Amino acid sequence: MSDQTACQRDARPRRLILAGAHRQPGYCLSCGIRAQSVCSVIDDDDIARLAETAVETLVLPGRSFIEEGAPATDFYNITSGNVKLFKALPDGRRQITGFATTGHFLGLAVSDLYAFGAEAIDTVRLCRFSRARMRLLMDDFPRLERRLLAEASNELVAAQNQMLLLGRKTARERVASFLLERVREVANPSEDVPLPMTRSDMADYLGLTIETVSRTLSWMRTERLVTIGKGHTVRITAMERLHALAAGETG
């Protein structure tokens, strides 16, 4: 990378898992994110079986709930909040590899160990599923297995996109691509898009310095591509131009 290394220098995140009660069938039926999560493939009549395997978990800001290299014993479905995903480097630094928010399903390890770490940006609520019990459910509900495979495929595509982002794109193209990723997480693209992560986290993920991220956002505001709102939000005001910038079709 031409900019400073984008790896965050801090100690191993403190791990905190607060076990809660198993979900009740009624909760799962009325869950606001069910339609956008893997749970949507389970019919109402069978949702009780899924609820029996789910444990509500609360993770406080700055705490981790997945540790890279630890046994992959659980899956996690985020029901609220924002998470940053990272890989550890041999010298103790961390590289942020992605962000996850409401509706995302984490922990689909292809081996017996987690390939990444996960830390809460803000207060995160999630449903924790035992990997062993989930395997039994997949035997009875083939659609659930297919949905999980689709989620794993999405993770692979995201990893490939991240390689392109870091390897070929300019700073402006990287920031534009990142903002478009965040737009896809909201229901209405014309609304304010939340950016709950710090500028440091953004810079880490994009392989840029904090100063470069700040200058690029200021340039985008001057060019009327975006407006910067209060409370860590941004609104896209020229969507087509932003898409063109992310694709390298304009400077």
Residues 202 and 100 in one domain: no
Q: Give domain status of residue 1, yes or no.
A: no
What does the pLDDT read at residue 11?
Answer: 40
Cα dihedral across residues 160, 149, 27, 125: positive or negative: negative
Chosen domain end from 135, 164, 193: 164
What does the pLDDT read at residue 197?
Answer: 94
Q: Give domain status of residue 79, yes or no.
A: yes
Residues 148 and 195 in one domain: no
The range of the structural domain enclosing residue 206 comes to 169-247
Burial, 41: exposed, middle or buried (Cβ in 10 Å; 0-12, 13-18, 19+)? middle
Domain count, the chain: 2
Residue 141: pLDDT band by 50, 70, 90 thresholds?
confident
Q: Give domain status of residue 62, yes or no.
A: yes
What does the pLDDT read at residue 24?
Answer: 55
Chosen domain end from 133, 164, 195: 164
Residue 226 confidence (pLDDT) above 90: yes
Give helix 171-183 / helix 239-246 axis angle, nearest 10°: 130
Residues 63 and 136 in one domain: yes
Residues 79 and 135 in one domain: yes
Cα-to-chain-centroid distance, residue 234: 18
| Token pair of 81 as six digits | 């909040």
**Contact 141/46 with Cβ under 8 angstroms?**
yes
Residues 23 and 129 in one domain: yes
Residue 233 confidence (pLDDT) above 80: yes
Q: What is the CA radius of gyration of the chain?
A: 19
What does the pLDDT read at residue 10?
Answer: 44
Residues 123 and 187 in one domain: no
Residue 207's contacts (CB-CB under 8 Å, 6 or more residues apart) are 1, 3, 6, 165, 166, 174
Q: Give domain status of residue 90, yes or no.
A: yes
Quote the CA–CA distance of 165 and 178 in Å, as a whole number.
9
- At position 93, the amino acid (one-letter code) is R
Residues 153 and 182 in one domain: no
pTM equals 0.80
Residues 182 and 198 in one domain: yes
Residues 153 and 208 in one domain: no
Residues 157 and 189 in one domain: no
Q: Give domain status of residue 9, yes or no.
A: no
The enclosing domain of 67 has a CATH number of 2.60.120.10
Chosen domain end from 164, 194, 227: 164
The enclosing domain of 221 has a CATH number of 1.10.10.10
Highest mean pLDDT among 111-115, 222-226, 228-232: 222-226
Residues 176 and 158 in one domain: no
The 3-state secondary structure of the chain reads: CCCCCCEECCCCCCECCEEEEECCHHHHHHCCCHHHCHHHHCCHHHHHHHHHHEEEEEECCCCEEECCCCECCEEEEEEECCEEEEEECCCCCEEEEEEECCCCEECCCCCCECCCEEEECCCEEEEEEEHHHHHHHHHHCHHHHHHHHHHHHHHHHHHHHHHHHHHHCCHHHHHHHHHHHHHCCCCCCCCCEECCCCHHHHHHHHCCCHHHHHHHHHHHHHCCCEEEECCCEEEECCHHHHHHHHCCCCC
Residues 150-195: tens digit of each pLDDT: 777 677 667 667 777 777 789 999 999 999 989 988 877 777 899 9
What does the pLDDT read at residue 150?
Answer: 75
